[in-house]
Amino acid sequence: MDATQPTIVEEKIVKYNGEVQVRKYQKGKFLGKGGFAKCYEFQNQETKAIQAAKVVEKASLTKSRAKQKLMSEIKIHRSVHHQHVVKFEHFFEDAENVYILLELCHNQSLNELLRRRKRLHELEVQCYALQIISALKYLHSHRIIHRDLKLGNLFLNDKMEIKLGDFGLATKLDFDGEKKRTICGTPNYIAPEVLEGKAGHSYEVDIWSLGVIIYTLIIGKPPFETSDVKTTYSKIRKNLYEFPQHVIISDGARDLITKILIGDPKMRPNLDEIIAHEFFNNGGTIPKTLPQSFLACPPSAQ
Ligand code: ADP
């Protein structure tokens, strides 16, 4: 293969009359790698539109569980439409891969943001948290639990809007009281009832992860982080975390985090109660979005 030639991926579309149409995409910049996907910029050669493409090798889908997981991700993600959810554009396959085309988020995830910034000001956290809550309200009202809410799955687009992505662990309940039992999530963000498993879990697992996200953005480190997963899980089960002395945190933020990170899921506040909490209502105006300059340097003292 000629390395100077751009890689073109062809999508074959069979029309109702049997005619085959070919849509071409130019594979561009590598965006990142996840559990079983590699993500690249794809440019539609006809419209010139650039999207993010999640490329999953078919060879990695030999186990029926992996195939089912990808099918479930596609089914749930393509059914959701919200300002703060990564837009699902399209999917197709060729002999080697499955391609999921998504809205491109130019400004990476909150993970990279926090790595650069170390910790965020509470006003920024209020602004991001309200956008995450708005996405969660939408998902939960459609009986969808995301189950993998974490900084790495919260992207920022070029307008600095939060976009929740990666529906690989999401589930749709058949009815509101249904409980799920599969153990899933990412160690630092996983709710205690998921680890217990017995009684099942529901929407409250996303609320727990939201609490972990708010803590992490303000303090700079996840509350239950340790060097090994077993110890992290044990700390989550025992609800062992603290607010470090050296980080200044408002009473409102501390109170909200403490109310959310409660072992018993029934005792956690719901999304409306969270929005009504003092943390979001301390008299200041919370901006809808933040300037791009905040990606790299902290805003001047509030
Ligand atoms: P997996 O489901 O395999 O974990 P992810 O959905 O996490 O894959 O995607 C892998 C990486 O690709 C992400 O960490 C991120 O860097 C990048 N990425 C994913 N979706 C987008 C997007 N819509 N826009 C820009 N980059 C993305």
pLDDT in tens, 223-273: 999 999 999 999 999 999 999 999 999 999 999 999 999 999 999 999 999
User: Is residue 155 in contact with ligand 1, taking CB distance under 6 Å?
Assistant: yes
100-to-68, 78, 164, 168, 254 alpha-carbon distances in Å: 15, 10, 16, 12, 39
Nearest-atom index, ligand 1, CA of 103: 23
Cα pseudo-dihedral 97, 98, 102, 104, rounded to 10? -10
- Percent of the chain past pLDDT 70, that is, above it, reads 98
What is the rounded CA–CA span in Å between residue 143 and residue 57? 30
ipTM score above 0.85: yes
- Please indicate whether residue 52, judged by its CB atom, sits closer than 6 Å to ligand 1: yes
Active-site positions? 148
The whole-angstrom separation of Cα 150 and Cα 112 is 12
Lowest mean pLDDT among 54-68, 86-100, 120-134, 228-242: 54-68
Q: Is 150 exposed, middle or buried (0-12, 13-18, 19+ CB in 10 A)?
A: buried
> Which among 116, 117, 146, 113 is positioned nearest to 132, based on CA atoms?
146
Ligand 1 centroid, distance to 131 Cα (angstroms): 19
Q: pLDDT at residue 2 above 60? A: no
> 187 vs 1, which has greater pLDDT?
187
Average pLDDT along the chain? 93
Lowest mean pLDDT of 87-101, 187-201, 207-221, name the range: 187-201
pLDDT at 48 over 60: yes
Distance 166 CA to ligand 1 centre (A): 7
With a 6 Å cutoff on the Cβ, whether 100 touches ligand 1 is no
Distance 39 CA to ligand 1 centre (A): 6
Name the residue with the closest Cα to ligand 1, atom 19: 39
Distance CA 292, CA 278 (A): 27
Tell me: pLDDT of 187 over 90: no
Give, using CA atoms, the residue closest to atom 9 of ligand 1: 34
Ligand 1: atom nearest CA of 73 is: 2
Give the per-residue pLDDT at 181: 84
Confidence of residue 188 (pLDDT cuts 50, 70, 90): confident
How confident is the model at residue 3, as a pLDDT? 61
Cα gap 161→289, rounded to integer Å = 6
